[in-house]
């Protein structure tokens, strides 16, 4: 399978890891449609970061329905773009729901999410961007979104662990796991070129790698 046959590429990772920047660059290079999550459109988000327990269900349901609408539109291929690059995948919603909702809230959420998931297209390949919590906090501070000014490092660490757990068990599509703690795709586009090469080559299982130019160029393929 080549890049041109991988018509739906999804990029995932914790808040601040660089998903949107990479998705935008890949879409430009592949002449693809970029589908970017409208995070700041969520009216409950700023209140959520001030009091997560109180506003968790509202923020989660808004994201679930917003992501569903965007992802359902992917089934209607744009006549001008054969390929799509998204800066999230629909399944990410469950990661946040598991972290933020209590038992009763999650039970109700699960009923809604399960019905919606049946109508969502699955990616042809997923790129999971990793970074340490310390690096994520620095990147979040640098981009200075108003809704993230009260970001709790402990919450971010919990999300980091939840993401790692989810993708360690992920088998629904070929998966590239990229440690970005020492990589800046925006500042050094050679990393993007190398990543595109690996997207083209990788067709099954999980591949852990650091793009050429990083501190470590070792690659290890793990078949699952």
pLDDT of residue 223: 39
For β-strands 125-130 and 84-86, DSSP reports them as unpaired
Q: Determine the Cα–Cα distance for residues 15 and 169; give it in Å rounded to an integer.
A: 20
- pLDDT of residue 149 exceeding 80, the answer is no
Structural domain that includes position 197: 3-222
pLDDT of residue 224: 44
The count of domains in the chain is 1
- pLDDT of residue 217 exceeding 60, the answer is no
Are 90 and 8 within 8 A, CB to CB?
Answer: no
Give the residue numbers annotated as catalytic, written as ranges.
87
Tell me which of 27-36, 55-64, 113-122, 187-196 is least confident: 187-196
- pLDDT of residue 202 exceeding 50, the answer is yes
Residue-wise DSSP of the chain: --GGG--EEEEEESTTSSHHHHHHHHHHHHT-EEE---GGG-TTHHHHHH-HHHHHHHHHHHHHHHHHHHHHHTTS--TT-S-EEES--TTHHHHHHHHH--HHHHHHHHHHHHHHHTT-PPPSEEEEEE--HHHHHHHHHHHT-GGGTT--HHHHHHHHHHHHHHHHS--SS-EEEEE-TT--TTT-THHHHHHHHHHHH--SSEEEE--TTSS---EEEE--
pLDDT digits (tens, 9 = 90+) for 60-108: 999 999 889 888 776 665 545 678 899 999 888 899 999 999 999 999 9
Flag whether the pTM goes above 0.75. yes
Q: Kindly report the CATH number assigned to the domain that includes residue 113.
A: 3.40.50.300
């Amino acid at each position: 399978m080549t890049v041109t046959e991988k018509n739906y590429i999804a990029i995932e990772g914790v808040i601040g890891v660089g998903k949107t920047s990479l998705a935008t660059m890949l879409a430009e290079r592949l002449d693809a449609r970029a589908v970017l999550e409208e995070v700041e459109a969520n009216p409950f988000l700023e209140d959520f970061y001030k009091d997560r327990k109180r506003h968790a269900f509202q923020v989660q349901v808004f994201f679930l329905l917003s992501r569903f609408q965007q992802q359902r539109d992917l089934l209607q291929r744009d006549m001008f773009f054969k390929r799509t690059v998204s800066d999230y995948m629909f399944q990410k919603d469950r990661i946040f729901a598991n972290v933020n909702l209590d038992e009763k809230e999650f039970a109700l959420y699960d009923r809604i999410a399960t019905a919606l998931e049946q109508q969502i297209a699955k990616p042809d390949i997923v790129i999971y961007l990793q970074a340490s919590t310390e690096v994520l906090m620095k990147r979040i501070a640098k981009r200075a979104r108003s809704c993230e000014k009260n970001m709790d490092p402990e919450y971010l660490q919990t999300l980091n662990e939840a993401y790692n757990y989810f993708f360690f068990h992920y088998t629904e599509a070929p998966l590239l796991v990229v440690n970005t703690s020492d990589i800046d795709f925006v500042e050094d586009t050679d990393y993007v070129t190398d990543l595109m090469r690996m997207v083209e080559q990788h067709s099954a299982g999980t591949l852990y790698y650091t793009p050429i130019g990083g501190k470590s160029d070792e690659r290890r393929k793990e078949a699952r």
